[in-house]
């Protein structure tokens, strides 16, 4: 299980990376994709959609289950990963790279400070596992 230190994490197992242009790239964590199993379908929001923090913005479906996706902070969707529409399994093979889900223009970048760092997220995952 990997927990890249340059990312911020939500309790719902999404990650967010602040890009140089001020946007956030958002995806699901290695832990989440492992728990889901083989991803077979992804539903992503339209570009231009405004999201509130923790609002559901899409769905990831695997052979085991269907899981909602939650926005790590409020903002506007400026891109979604077209690759995943034809190759959703990319989330399994590269959750922190080509398997990204959306890019957000955050309404308030300070909200990132409320997300967990890698160490806190690892402790969260361990606590959930019991």
pLDDT value for 130: 79
Per-residue pLDDT tens listing for the chain (130 residues): 789 999 999 999 999 999 999 999 999 999 999 999 999 999 999 999 999 999 999 999 999 899 999 999 999 999 999 999 999 999 999 999 999 999 999 999 888 899 999 999 999 999 998 7
Distance CA 83, CA 73 (A): 23
pLDDT value for 109: 85
Distances (CA, A) of 126 to 48, 96, 98, 120: 36, 20, 26, 10
Vertex 65: Cα angle to 42 and 115 (nearest 5): 70
pLDDT value for 90: 97
Distance CA 65, CA 77 (A): 25
Q: In what order do the strands lie in the sheet with 75-80?
A: 8-9, 14-18, 24-28, 102-106, 75-80, 50-51
pTM for the predicted model, two decimal places:
0.95
pLDDT value for 65: 92
Q: How many CA atoms lie within 13 A of 114 on its CB side?
A: 11
pLDDT value for 99: 98
pLDDT value for 46: 97
Q: Indicate the SS3 state at residue 16.
A: strand
Distances (CA, A) of 110 to 3, 81, 115: 22, 25, 10
């Amino acid at each position: 299980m990997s927990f890249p230190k340059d990312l911020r994490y939500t309790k719902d197992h999404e990650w967010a990376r602040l890009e140089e242009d001020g946007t956030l790239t958002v995806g699901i964590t290695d832990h989440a994709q492992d728990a889901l199993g083989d991803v077979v379908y992804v539903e992503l929001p339209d570009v231009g959609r405004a999201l509130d923090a923790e609002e559901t913005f899409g769905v990831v479906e695997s052979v085991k289950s269907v899981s909602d996706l939650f926005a790590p902070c409020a903002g506007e969707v400026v891109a979604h990963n077209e690759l995943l529409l034809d190759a959703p399994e990319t989330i399994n093979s590269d959750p922190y790279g080509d398997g990204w889900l959306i890019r957000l223009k955050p309404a308030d970048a300070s909200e990132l400070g409320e997300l967990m760092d890698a160490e806190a997220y690892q402790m969260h995952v361990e606590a959930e596992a019991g």
